[in-house]
Amino acid sequence: MGAMMKYDYWVVGAGITGMTVARVFAEQGKTVLVLDRRSHIGGNCHDEYDEYGIRVHKYGPHIFHTNSKEVWDFLGRFTEWRHYQHKVCAYVESMLLPIPINVDTINRLYDIAVTPATMAAYLASVSVKLDVVKNSRDAVIGRLGVDIYDKFFKNYTLKQWGIPAEEIHPSVCERIPIRFNRDSRYFSDQFQGIPLHGYQKMFERMAAHENIHLLLQADFKDVLGEVEYNGLVYTGPIDEYFNYRHGKLGYRSLRFVFTNYRQASFQEASVVNFPNDYEFTRTTEYRKITGQEAGSTTVSYEYPCNVGDPYYPIPTADNQNLYARYAEDAKKEGDVVFAGRLGSYRYLNMDAACLEGMRIARNLLNLHQNV
Ligand code: FAD
Ligand code: UDP
C-alpha cells in the first residue's frame, strides 16, 4: 500500500453533485480529493465528440433548466450558455405531436378546436375524477383522461421502467406538465441552456483549482483505507456502500445506440418519443441540441434495460421501504454525507443536484468551523 493521501475532504463521484461540492470546498481553502470509477468527470452529464465531430451525450440527452439564479450563475462561471429551449414530439397515430400535452396536441389528435380559454374545461370533461392519486396511471388519467394515457403514457412508461404505471409513484408521470396554451417547450424554467462548449469543458473548468485533486478509474472500496480526511461526501449508490446488506435497490439502466447519418437533418425535433412503436423509447438528434454545423448528424436510440450502470432509481413502494433502511444506516455513519441521485436514491435534475451540492458543502464547512 502506498503512503496515506491526506485531504480536508473526500468526494466520491465526479458528477455534478460531487463537482459542485468539491468546488465550494476548494474555494474556501480546503483540499479535496475527488474520486470516480469512470475515466471521465461529469458523471451522467458527460458529453464527448464522436468520430464525426458531433458532440453527443453519452448517457442520454441532458438539457440544463432551472429557476434558480444562484445555480445558473454558479455554473455560468465555468461556461458560457447556448440559449436553447428544448422541444420534444411524440410519435402517435403516425403524427408527430407536441409533448407535454398542449392545446395543439389535443386539436391535432382529435381534429377539434380547443383554445387556451377552453382547455381547462375540455380536460375536466375527459379526465377521471379520483379521490386519491395512488400511482402514475392515476396521475395521468386524473388530469388528462384515459385516452391520452393510453396513447402517450401507458406503453412509454412500461418500456421505460419495465413495470406498469400502476406500480410507479405518481411523481414520475407528474414530471410531465400540462400546457393550457400553445407553449411547445419541454421545460418552462426561467433559465434554460446547453453549455456552449459542452458539459465536459464546464466540468473541466470546475475541476481546475489548485485545491482539487482528481483520481479517476478508481473505486471507493479500493482506495478506502488509503485516504485521511475530515469529511466524506459519497455520491455513489447507497446500497453498494453498505455492501447490499438489506438487499439491492432497484435501478433502471439504459443502452444507447448511436448512428450517424449523412444528411443535414434527421427528425423534426431534438427528441422524438415513441410511446407505442419499437423497443426504444426515444431518438435524440444531438446537433439540434448543440447547434453545431456539420455535414452529417448523429442520433441516439435509447433502450431501457435492467442491467448496466444505475441510471434511474425506480420509485416503487418496495424500493422506498428498502431505501428507508439504508437511510437509517446512513445516519449512523458519522463523517459521511450521502448525496446526489444515487446516494440519496432520488430523481434529481442537474440544477437540484447542484443546489444540493452547494448546501452540503456549506453545511459541512460551518460544522467543521464550529468544532
Ligand atoms: P451521477 O452523474 O450519476 O454521478 C455519480 C458518479 O459517481 C458517477 O460518475 C459514478 O461513476 C461515480 N461513482 C459511483 N460509485 C462510485 C464508487 N464506488 N467509486 C467511485 N466512483 C463512483 N437532468 C436535467 O437537469 N436535465 C436533463 O435533461 C436530464 N436528462 C437526463 C437524461 C438521462 C437519460 C438521465 C439518466 C438523467 C438525466 N438528468 C437530467 C439527470 C442528471 O443526469 C442528474 O441530475 C445528474 O447526473 C446527477 O448527478 P450526480 O452527481 O448526483 O450523479
Ligand atoms: N412519459 C411518458 N411518455 C412520454 C414522456 C414521458 O409516458 O412521452 C413518462 C415516463 O414514465 C417517464 C416520465 O413520464 O419516465 C417522466 O418523463 P421525463 O421526460 O421526465 O423522463 P426522463 O427525462 O427522466 O427520462
> Which residue's C-alpha comes closest to atom 13 of ligand 2?
173
Q: Is 219 in the pocket of ligand 1 (CB under 6 A)?
A: yes
C-alpha cell at 341: 441521485
Q: Which ligand gives the minimal distance to the CA of 60?
A: 1
What pLDDT is recorded for position 371? 55
Cell match 400535452: residue?
A: 101
In ligand 1, the atom with minimum distance to the C-alpha of 19 is 51
Could you give the angle at which helices 119-126 and 136-144 cross, rounded to 10 degrees? 120
The rounded Å distance from CA 15 to ligand 1 centre is 6
Q: Which of the ligands is closest to the CA of residue 251? A: 1
- Residue 25 alpha carbon to ligand 2 centre in Å: 35
Distance 275 CA to ligand 2 centre (A): 10
Instruction: Please give the pLDDT value at position 2.
Output: 62
Give the C-alpha separation, 244 to 262, whole Å.
47
In which residue ranges of the chain is CATH 3.40.50.720 found?
5-84+191-248+314-369
pLDDT recorded at residue 4: 86
Instruction: Show the CA angle centred on residue 269, arms to residues 264 and 272, nearest 5°.
Output: 115
Phi-psi region of 194 (alpha: psi -120 to 50; beta: other; left: phi over 0): beta
Distance between Cα 100 and ligand 2 center (Å): 10
DSSP SS3 for 161: helix
DSSP state of 3: P
CB 235 within 8 A of CB 15: yes
The CATH class for the domain spanning 5-84+191-248+314-369 reads alpha beta
Please give the number of the atom of ligand 1 that sits closest to the Cα of 254.
Answer: 34
Instruction: Confirm whether pTM is higher than 0.95.
Output: yes
41 lines ligand 1 (CB under 6 A): no
Residues 6+ apart with CB under 8 A from 156: 90, 273, 274, 275, 276, 281
Kindly give the distance from the C-alpha atom of residue 365 to the centroid of ligand 2, in angstroms, as a whole number: 37
Report the nearest atom of ligand 1 relative to the CA of 16.
Answer: 51
CA distances (Å), 156 to each of 44, 148, 173, in order?
Answer: 22, 12, 11
Q: Which ligand is nearest to the CA of 161?
A: 2
pLDDT score at 369: 78
Query: Of the residues 17, 21, 44, 311, which should be mutated to test ligand 1's pocket, given the most ligand atoms within 8 Å of the CB?
Result: 44
Dig out the grid coordinates for 169 from the structure: 409513484
- Residue 89 Cβ inside 6 Å of ligand 2? The answer reads no
pLDDT tens over the chain, length 371 residues: 567 899 999 999 999 999 999 999 999 999 999 999 999 999 999 999 999 999 999 999 999 999 999 999 999 999 999 999 999 999 999 999 999 999 999 999 999 999 999 999 999 999 999 999 999 999 999 999 999 999 999 999 999 999 999 999 999 999 999 999 999 999 999 999 999 999 999 999 999 999 999 999 999 999 999 999 999 999 999 999 999 999 999 999 999 999 999 999 999 999 999 999 999 999 999 999 999 999 999 999 999 999 999 999 998 999 999 999 999 999 999 889 999 999 999 999 999 999 999 999 999 999 887 65
Q: Which ligand 1 atom lies nearest to the CA of residue 241?
A: 18
